[in-house]
Chains A and B, each alone.
Chain A
Amino acid sequence: MSTPEDALDRAREALRAQRAAGRYPDPPAPDPPPSPADARRKLLEWAFIEPGAEVLRSTRRYGAPITAFKRLLYRALAQHLDVVVANQARFNLALLADLERIEARIEALEDERDP
């Protein structure tokens, strides 16, 4: 029997016994911070825009016809939308390439300063 105040101490004690018996693995290492490479990979993923008609839906109770109409409209406008999406993706990728160049330049300057 325990109270909320001593529950934590009892759990720690039980854990020591369980660990000694090999029933639990050692405590996990803390999560590593996201690396610059992870961040770049994410940016690259997001730079490509791939919209799809499946995200278009109606949240109304009997919204199926509205959903169908929205998707039809999307397909009818596809020719125009494709151009917009291609232009935006081109801009995103150009910006990302510039960012890469700036990062490389900063790294080079840092290396020069602190060889």
Chain B
Amino acid sequence: MIVHQLLSGAGPRDAITAEARAFRGRFAAWGWGGDDLAARIAPGLDGLFRSPAQLRVRDDDVLLIHHSAGLPGLDEILSAPGRKLLLHHNVTPAHWLWDHAPVVAAHCALGREQLPVLVRACDLAVGDSAFNAAELSALGAERTEVLPLLVDLAPLGPAGDPRVACAPAPHVLFVGRLSPHKRQDRVIEAFALYRDVRAPGARLTLVGEPLTDAYADSLRARAERLAPGAVRICSGLSPAQLGDVYRSADVFLCLSEHEGFCVPLLEAMTLGVPVIARAAGAVPEVAGKAAVIVAEEDPALISELLHLVVTDATLRETLIGRGRVRAAAFAPDPVAARLREVVLATVNGGG
């Protein structure tokens, strides 16, 4: 069996790129071949991914399209022979990005426009969450499947002892691209209130690759204005360093407004960090009952939730325990078995 993978972009700290590489490892273990291609390839990954112009598909092959942004030359790609499997990771709504990174926004707008075309052309449409699969159904996909993101969290290291009792200077953490739709601005705002009213020594760490340097600078300026000296913003961490940051955190706070899956939720749960998250996109589905899910935007309410999760040992213990169970539900081996089923279903005609 030959399974090619096509991504709109491949980057060094990108969850979809990591998944494509994990898929390739599984395919190789099953004796399956194929190439990995990406429309935009970050420096350093050019040995692992090739240009879509080099795509050669035969009738019996499967082309797995990871969809997260616009794919140039899509008509040509779809006219190639072989079975097509669409894996929808969701596309960031472009309106969040036009003011900050118009080229990225244009890629996202194109990705949205291309989604109905992909749904019509592919033999099987799969979402990595039920939220994403529902978008495919709404666009007319007759049959959809859910294939959770295949993530290997082992490089983050072990969980360590559960931090049921917090230090006097609680450590709040959010991990995710420094981008407007992830709402780090709101995290800073809520944290600043929490620090003013409940925990004067509290610290906040934001980890993520910046959408642009200017956007990261604007977050730094906001942090310095609202909570001087208490916010650390870091990028380019290795998995081991990221694991250390999780292990030092008392609470994970996600106020993102758009998430197709949200891997950091699983990372936090795996490493024993209690989670507070905004009910957006696939977040409630991925978190299950293992997080405090909040729909309101009031930063003072988030501040009180932080205080509660930091100070109530029973609540922390429950969240940590449920988090570990929830994260185990996304263990790589069952997801890989599901991947195999989905690919074989595509070979058999999808419907």
Contact = CB atoms under 8 A, between A and B. Distances in A.
A8 interface: yes
A68 B142 CA distance: 55
A17 B117 CA distance: 53
A28 B305 CA distance: 17
Contacts of A2: 308, 312, 314-315
B61 to A, nearest CB: 33
A8 B305 contact: yes
Contacts of B313: 1
Interface string A1-36: 111110110111011001100011101101000100
A79 interface: no
B308 A46 contact: no
Interface string B94-134: 00000100100000000000000000000000000000000
Interface string B293-324: 11001111101110111001111001100100
Contact of A18 (B197, B289, B290, B319): B197
Nearest to A63: B43
B193 interface: yes
B318 A18 contact: no
Contacts of A28: 189, 298-299
Contacts of A87: none
B160 interface: no
B315 A4 contact: yes
Contact of B300 (A8, A18, A38): A18
B100 to A, nearest CB: 10
Nearest to B298: A27
A38 to B, nearest CB: 8
Contact of A4 (B292, B297, B298): B292
B44 interface: yes
Given A12-B301, A46-B102, A59-B44, A7 B309 contact: yes
Contacts of B99: 34, 38, 42
Contacts of B319: 4
Given A42-B99, A46-B102, A11 B304 contact: yes
B299 to A, nearest CB: 7
Given A1-B315, A27-B298, A7 B292 contact: yes
Contacts of B41: none
Interface string A48-84: 0000000000011000000000000000000000000
A4 B292 CA distance: 5
A11 B289 contact: no
Contacts of A19: 300
Contacts of B290: 4
A59 B298 CA distance: 41
12 contacts: A1-B314, A2-B308, A4-B315, A4-B322, A7-B292, A7-B312, A8-B292, A11-B304, A12-B304, A24-B303, A28-B298, A38-B99
Interface of B: 43-44, 99, 102, 189, 193, 197, 289-294, 297-301, 303-305, 307-309, 312-315, 318-319, 322
Given A4-B315, A42-B99, A60-B44, 16 more contacts: A1-B314, A2-B315, A3-B314, A4-B290, A4-B318, A4-B322, A7-B308, A7-B309, A8-B292, A15-B298, A15-B300, A15-B301, A24-B303, A27-B298, A38-B99, A59-B44
